[in-house]
Chain A
Amino acid sequence: NAGVMQNPRHLVRRRGQEARLRCSPMKGHSHVYWYRQLPEEGLKFMVYLQKENIIDESGMPKERFSAEFPKEGPSILRIQQVVRGDSAAYFCASSRGVGDTEAFFGQGTRLTVV
């Protein structure tokens, strides 16, 4: 029973490039959450998705960031025109659904912008 799978584990991008982070939830989980952890800080909520729907994107920066969770395939967090301040660890979590109080986390993607 695979857990939450994130890839790549490490991603290096030059300023101005695009970064695509992937997340496959646990089997049977239809809810996905993305969090960002900046150096020396806690995890900050970014976006909550269900299949083909964005439920809550209140934590997403207004520009350059987007997320999707298509009917088939993994959830994707896309960062366009990356800047140095985007360097962080990005974690994905999944849960079964509303009323499920526990979310399981992936190992994260460490994005470094050079």
Chain B
Amino acid sequence: DQQVKQNSPSLSVQEGRISILNCDYTNSMFDYFLWYKKYPAEGPTFLISISSIKDKNEDGRFTVFLNKSAKHLSLHIVPSQPGDSAVYFCAASAPGETSGSRLTFGEGTQLTVNP
């Protein structure tokens, strides 16, 4: 049962343009959402997050949008840079003492930014 889904395994954009990565979830108990970036042979690196009480969070070139009614979130990167090329994982967490910061991950989207 894949509770967090990233339906696009790959995305290719030109340098300077916008990258939009999408993520859908099914578990209505999720209340916190995160995006991680991962380079080959390295661990995931936290990028940006959003609480379910918000619909938008912005940090520099990165903006995450959350549509709770549609159970959908997206990550916008503007402008895209070649160094942004990596695998991006969407992750979600649900509250509770036995869950802590336990994360449920999507399958990832490989972003390639072409010079």
Stretch at the interface among B40-48, B59-67, B71-79: B40-48
Is the pair A101, B46 in contact by a Cβ cutoff of 8 Å?
no
- Whether B44 contacts A43 by the Cβ 8 Å rule is yes
Known: A43-B44, A91-B43, A108-B42. A33 touches B100 (CB 8 A): yes
- Which residue in B32, B101, B107, B108 is a CB contact (below 8 Å) of A95? B101
A43 touches B105 (CB 8 A): yes
A49 CB to nearest B CB, Å: 10
A104–B46 Cα gap in the complex (Å)? 7
Is B19 on the interface with A (CB-CB < 8 A)? no
Determine the distance from Cα of A97 to Cα of B6 in the docked complex, in whole angstroms. Answer: 28
Distance to closest chain B CB from A43 (angstroms): 4
**Is B81's beta carbon under 8 Å from chain A?**
no
Majority SS at the chain B contact face: loop
Among B34, B41, B49, B93, max chain A CB count under 10 A is at B41
Q: Does B99 contact A (CB under 8 A)?
A: yes
Contact assessment for B104 and A45 in the assembled complex, using a CB-CB cutoff below 8 Å: yes
Residue of B nearest to A43 (CB): B105
Q: State in angstroms the CA–CA spacing of A112 and B51 once bound together.
A: 38
Q: Which B residues are in CB contact (< 8 Å) with A45? A: 102-104
User: Is A4 in contact with B100, judged by CB distance below 8 angstroms?
Assistant: no
> A11-26 toward B: CB 8 Å interface, digit per residue (1/0)?
0000000000000000
Once bound together, how far apart are the Cα atoms of A107 and B38, in whole Å? 10
Residues on B with C-beta less than 8 A from A72 are: none
Q: How far is the CB of B65 from chain A (nearest CB, A)?
A: 18
A42–B92 CA distance with the chains assembled, in angstroms: 13
Residue in contact with A101 in the complex, picked from B89, B98, B101, CB distance below 8 Å: B101
Shortest Cβ gap from B31 to chain A (Å): 9
Do the beta carbons of B32 and A101 come within 8 Å of each other? yes
- Given that A4-B43, A42-B89 are known contacts, is A100 also in contact with B102, CB under 8 Å in the complex? no
Q: Which of B41, B49, B106, B107 contacts A102 (CB 8 A)?
A: B49
Partner of B101, one of A31, A91, A110: A31
* Interface residues, chain A, with chain B CB atoms under 8 Å away: 4, 6, 31, 33, 35, 41-45, 48, 55-56, 91, 93, 95, 97-98, 100-108, 110
